[in-house]
Amino acid sequence: MTDLVHNTGWLLDVLDIALVAFVIYRVLLLIRETVPPRFFAAATLLLLVALVSHAAGLRAVSLVLDNLFGSAIIILVIIFQHDIRRSLVTMRRKGHEASQVHDEAQDFVDELATAAEALAQKKIGALIVLEREMSLNSLIAVGTEIDAKVTSELISSIFLPYSPIHDGAVIIQKGKLTKAGCFLPLTQNPAVSKSLGTRHRAAIGLTETVDAVVVVVSEETGKISVVVGGKLIGDLESELLRKVIRKLLATRWMK
């Protein structure tokens, strides 16, 4: 039991020292980033003088420097109050921006899923390509330039039967609908079921080449599928569709 207590005490001492060292290291980094170089050099020199004076037994110098360092935090706050205020404002702004980006990503997924569900209910076929890391520009044939915000109304109107570009695919890049009426390369994989239509074969063909995500709505069955990596995830209901899209896109457009 004594050995156990002794070993535990030794581990706590090591942890205690490690935490103190980490805190000192982070504080030094912060000071180095925010404090002017000359001030930082002067503070370092004073710290060295304090250590030497303690070691040499210079009581008067040690007393003065100890009092100075004891008030160092107050002095730093007074001198760098504007920098501290600016840093706090920047942190709040970054938090707000991150929250805004998250909300925009949620809105994008909802708009996309709502459009797919509306088209599926009417059994209107659709092919929606979501670019990820790999560029699609070299693989997209034809297409009409659009460059618009993704909305369920816009996507639905593109795929209506009387639309002149309803047969092709729409391309979404960095959260914006950039092109419509695009033709994609069909898969040449003989293992792909012959029962799949042109839209599904095009989705598989594209995702065999790049890391894009493709949402397909079947005009025959009204079912929604997601294709990625040449694999088809079929018959997705509302909530599952949203979860799959969020997972596959992750933070792609949050950078």
Determine the longest span between alpha carbons in the chain, in angstroms: 93
- Whether the CB-CB separation of 193 and 228 falls below 8 Å is answered with no
- Whether the CB-CB separation of 150 and 176 falls below 8 Å is answered with yes
Distance (Å, rounded) from C-alpha 118 to C-alpha 253? 25
Q: Which helix (H) or strand (E) holds 232?
A: strand 231-233
Which fold is adopted by the domain 102-249?
A: YojJ-like (1 (3.40.1700)
Q: Count other Cβ atoms within 10 Å, centred on residue 92.
A: 10
Going from the first residue of the chain to its last (255 residues), give the mean pLDDT of each consecutive group of 10, the final group possibly shorter: 56 68 60 55 64 68 61 59 62 52 66 92 93 83 83 92 87 89 90 88 92 92 92 87 85 46
Distance (Å, rounded) from C-alpha 151 to C-alpha 143? 19
Residue extent(s) of CATH 3.40.1700.10 domains in the chain: 102-249
| Predicted local distance difference test score (pLDDT) of residue 212 | 92
Distance of CA 95 to the CA centre of its chain: 14
84-92: long-range pairs with CB below 8 Å, 24+: 87/34
| Predicted local distance difference test score (pLDDT) of residue 105 | 60
What's the Cα-to-Cα distance from 191 to each of 196, 211, 232, rounded to whole Å? 11, 20, 13
Asked whether the whole model's pTM tops 0.75, one would answer no
| Predicted local distance difference test score (pLDDT) of residue 101 | 44
| Predicted local distance difference test score (pLDDT) of residue 61 | 59
| Predicted local distance difference test score (pLDDT) of residue 116 | 93
